[in-house]
Chain A
């Protein structure tokens, strides 16, 4: 298991060092600094073996988090734990920066003592942790409180405490999707997929039982058989390649009935992630035209076409067109928005604030090149694009989200529910 956990600043100075196992010595802290943080070349692997000690690291802004071990640990678990550790810290004191880590080092040690025992990850749900790791001392707690804390930390529903009360029961549900595309210069889709998340904010009293339904093809087809509009709803359903759930979701129930039922954590959480590859609505098509005029000039024209309902508006559109390293000057003409050549980034950045569906716009550029005798050809990185659209490119629709709390007297109808769809660009690239 994890033998030690260290946090360093960008210079490699230790901010936190917690050793869990006898086989990890003090020198391990230095070994990682010398061999990884101060290493000359770029990091070639997130797992490094130095003198029989294995180090796992992740970076958050300027901060390095490293876990050390001398055993054959579950590597996936160690990385998952490091991410979780970041989440927990962020939930307690915001951004993970050198300043924040130093200011909260006592708290971090307290957390590390709680969520990792002898290198074994323990309950790391912030909801539960915040009930008893408060930096206030726990002297004042009554006996009932204590048992409540321990039963929550170890219990089956470790992510929610009992006795939560709200005057207004409210639910916010966001379907956040990022659509990824790799297209050939000829307009052929080389690969595309949507990775989506259902993110919720729930402010519900008691221990509510929730049921979430969407237009999952498997479910719709199953129900469609009985009802009359089977053919019609079949069109609107989507095929989900795979999905994963927050630990509150009953997986065995999903496996057998494909229904998503759960007792939600309080506040913010990510209910599920999913991935689809079929029938994706690609909100934009990018058409690049690159022409080399002699050795010192390049003509580039990029057309973007929006491909969704004309009544909808895409926002924050940004097209990034890479330019050769020996670019000396760029002349730009664009129909809409603003285009700029950024020499430091070796790219032309074209920004359009808003664009309605079924429209088209273009930018054209003349790029002057310095003559070089560099034999190596320009690698022609792909043109990438960023945007935000108010629909789910996968076609996912929320069908229902039901709330039952038999013990308290509020019903599903009393809960105020908000649903929002946001589609963003993931890695949306067109080769040129």
Chain B
């Protein structure tokens, strides 16, 4: 065969010649001519002029020729719609051909011809083909519906093709099912709200059956479709997972990754204490590692996805560090991605190995890779404190190599290390200063200037160094200019006598000779600050900077969740939501993980709670308003069984998943005017609010004295209220119950004193609770072993669990109790302090706190005043910690201490708090943010009682 000759005809008058050949009588010549036409078409020549002649060749029984003509038609029909109609008859005829291959070919091609007139004629043949006896024709027709829908959606709906397509999901042939699923998924994507892909347990079952039988590609379509389903409960979720896991051993990586997607998504619904949950986690690691021995392009896709998976569930791959070590011959895109994942997996356990590798990489050839490796060393230092020293010395070694870009990169990361561990590694500054001249990149120059300004008091010739930069001020990039301005102002505030001239110079350069508004504005601000109030200037410019956090490039939690739903797709490769790169209605839908989806609505609808499953943290508080009395009367006073909903899975992430636009806090981020813009990216600081009042009352001496009593030091134990009488003897035929609630080592206990004030002996005690807001229930029967004689008291400690039935109470912390003895059943109600429900691991990561705070809509914020409290902020923080209210960060702004605190309820609800304490002012302000704002009032009361006692 020498078909390549068709590519080489470049004669003039070619079209004319071809025309003659196409109309030739000889079959062979005709075929040759059509081949030439197709070759010309391929290389981009316009051969549309030959349309009628080519279409004339269509009626042939030579299948090869027919296919070529069809190919031509698909390309040019749109430009010649009137003539395309000539082809219709042949198509319609072919759709009736006894040979199924020809029927399918006709319907397949017809769908690709985007001409309205042809489309009209397509409907009848398509309808027949959808019901064809041959599965090959049916599977082709299924895809054709999607084609037609792309041309004319209305027509497809009017003709009822969608219903036929839905029927095909029950087809006996697995490939027909797979194509029908693919077509329906695509159509459903362009109608986000239609319930087209009506996924219910029956259809899911059909899909899972077809999954075992169809081709590798069909398995992908089905798995991708399954990933859109939300199981009703954890049991359904588990059973689907069980049937999907065998796919992890498929040779096709796409089948594997799509299965991983389904599992990652459905896993959200499984309770973490379930054995199967652990098994599943273990099953995920090996196939992910295996993907790394695939071809490099697939490795790249896999690594981009692993990057997401590691952020969402670090436990899966935490022991697999070695497989991410870079191989010398890996393509550069694979190397860079591996490096990213290595840093994410770095921990104290493996840091030595990681550092040894990174040092190795820093000597390689590729500049981007080397830079990233150097940067990675810095990130290790910030992430694993124990390794910081070794990292710094490694970086110094690298600086000694004098390789220009290595030095610059190292200086940029050393600046970050200074931000994380202030006043620890300043001894290296001298070495850094030696390399000042070799820095030519803005980022490195800015970093170096920042270091000089920040540690100006320790660098003898700081003024000379900065002055040397000033010479070419106008040639510097904005980043460097801004940094230089700030650094010189810092220097001036630290050494005012020697540097007055310098500061004058930089201020005038910034304000008078610059066109950059940012630079001018900053210049003016400094100028005014310095001229009006140097003390204030000092406080602003030299303010203590918040420490930077460990992970600086984590994907924002909401986006991460969405991307997890898109594992394997382009979105997961770009790390962008589909809406960022797909036009039109497709992909605009935001996908979410089941655990966190739509928690807003569920609060109102009791059904949604049970339907959405247990991992849904916030709405677990409030199911239905049941019949209180009925419940109490039906008490059978047997020890409670723990069949209620299992404790909700709780992770910090679930909270940070809501509305991106919710918080207005971005603007309040890191209010340090003195900091550099270059630093902005690494601020992990808690939000700052400007103090409301500047003229705070001067603190009295007495307050200070009281402060001493409060004491700073070890966190104190929890405050426990004294016992109060819950059930007076008069109301209970002589039985008096007084009690309180305590939380010890994570166990809630109800401590009661039972007193017999009657004349006869009491025996057979039992206790039962009504359903309540947080599912409190006795963890065991009440132990009153000996009979209670008249005038005798007995102390009883009843451990409580939080897995009982749930119902909203008013007030929220109300508990209705029934106590039985040999005489009668008595009812009383009491209120427990909500701090009983604060769990010990309620300390949020700073980063998560920040994201969550932003995420919770402002409507959910409530503010309270705590009056007459005489503790200083440290004492308050200690005291609160005793009740599992954890202080995450503290900032001091204008003498006002801001404490950022978090606590977690037993049902997984997080409450975030900002406590403002002004020295000398006995009134605290507290702002509470929570997904379930109902709890705020209780939490506030709790703050008040803890702080005041």
Contacts and interface: CB of A to CB of B under 8 A. Distances in A.
Contacts of B217: 77, 81, 120-124
B237 interface: no
Interface in A380-394: 380-382, 384
A201 B353 CA distance: 43
B742 to A, nearest CB: 49
Interface string B1-25: 1111011000000000000000000
A141 to B, nearest CB: 8
Interface string B155-185: 0000000000000000001111001001000
Interface residues of B, number: 114
Contacts of A46: 296-297, 300, 333
Interface stretch (B577-585, B661-669, B697-705): B577-585
Contacts of A427: 327-329
B63 interface: yes
Interface in B243-296: 243, 245-247, 249-254, 256-258, 286-287, 289-290, 293, 295-296
Interface stretch (A150-158, A287-295, A310-318, A416-424): A150-158
B364 A379 contact: yes
A74 B111 contact: no
B358 to A, nearest CB: 13
B401 A376 contact: yes
B221 interface: yes
Given A17-B42, A103-B4, A72 B570 contact: yes
A430 to B, nearest CB: 11
A149 interface: yes
A106 B301 CA distance: 32
A103 B570 contact: no
B64 A106 contact: yes
Nearest to A30: B44
Interface in A27-51: 29, 42-47, 49
Contact of B246 (A20, A139, A155, A251): A251
Given A117-B140, A137-B63, A15 B254 contact: no
B363 A154 contact: no
Contacts of B245: 255
Contacts of A137: 62-64
B322 A191 contact: yes
Interface in A166-225: 182, 190-191, 193, 195
B301 A79 contact: yes
Contacts of A52: 581-583
Interface stretch (B87-95, B97-105, B452-460): B97-105
A109 interface: yes
A212 B135 CA distance: 32
Contact of B568 (A76, A182, A250): A76
Q: Dominant SS at the B interface?
A: helix
Interface residues of A, number: 105
Contacts of A72: 566, 569-571, 578, 581-582, 586-587
B302 to A, nearest CB: 8
Interface string A39-75: 0001111110100101011100000000001111111
B44 A26 contact: yes
A117 B108 contact: yes
A404 interface: no
Contacts of A71: 570, 582, 586-587
Interface stretch (A227-235, A240-248, A330-338, A358-366): A240-248
A431 B254 contact: no
Contacts of A141: 99
A154 B568 CA distance: 25
A110 B297 contact: no
Interface in B318-371: 322-323, 325, 327-329, 331-333, 353, 357, 360, 363-365
A410 interface: no
Contacts of B806: none
Contacts of A380: 363
Contacts of B328: 381-382, 384, 427, 429
A45 B363 contact: no
B175 A123 contact: yes
The CB with the most chain B CB atoms within 10 A, among A118, A124, A195, A275, is that of: A118
Contacts of B582: 52, 70-72
A22 B217 CA distance: 22
Contact of B247 (A158, A251, A376): A251
Interface stretch (B208-216, B623-631, B636-644): B208-216
B35 interface: yes
A182 B325 contact: yes
Interface string A343-385: 0000000000000000000000000000000011101111010
A241 B322 CA distance: 14
Interface in B54-95: 61-64, 67-68, 70-71, 75
Given A73-B569, A156-B213, A79 B143 contact: no
Given A252-B212, A377-B401, A381-B328, A77 B220 contact: yes
Contacts of A74: 220, 224, 254, 258, 568-569
B204 interface: no
A47 B251 CA distance: 22
Interface in A131-166: 132, 135, 137-139, 141, 143, 146-147, 149-151, 153-156, 158
B446 interface: no
A58 B256 contact: no
A23 B144 CA distance: 17
Nearest to B174: A156
A138 B43 contact: no
A80 B253 contact: yes
A247 B64 contact: no
A242 B99 CA distance: 45
A150 B289 contact: no
B108 to A, nearest CB: 6
A412 interface: no
A29 B136 contact: no
Nearest to B214: A156
B61 to A, nearest CB: 6
Interface in A98-134: 99, 102-106, 109-110, 113, 117-118, 120-125, 132
B425 interface: no
B50 interface: no
A14 B44 contact: yes
Contact of B290 (A29, A146, A191, A242): A242
A23 B581 CA distance: 14
B134 to A, nearest CB: 5
A54 B570 contact: yes
Given A52-B583, A156-B213, A254-B246, A273 B136 contact: no
Interface string B215-247: 111001100100000000000000000010111
Contacts of A58: 295, 297
B99 A73 contact: no
A75 B299 CA distance: 12
B673 interface: no
Contact of A47 (B250, B290, B573): B573
Given A80-B254, A191-B323, A103 B3 contact: yes
A379 B365 contact: yes
Contacts of B111: 118
A403 interface: no
8 contacts: A44-B332, A75-B569, A77-B217, A120-B217, A122-B179, A138-B101, A241-B286, A427-B328
Interface of B: 1-4, 6-7, 35, 38-39, 42-44, 61-64, 67-68, 70-71, 75, 98-101, 104, 108, 111-112, 114, 134-137, 139-140, 143-144, 146-147, 150, 173-176, 179, 182, 186, 212-217, 220-221, 224, 243, 245-247, 249-254, 256-258, 286-287, 289-290, 293, 295-298, 300-302, 322-323, 325, 327-329, 331-333, 353, 357, 360, 363-365, 401-403, 566, 568-574, 578, 581-583, 586-587
Given A102-B3, A120-B143, 4 more contacts: A71-B587, A79-B253, A241-B286, A245-B251
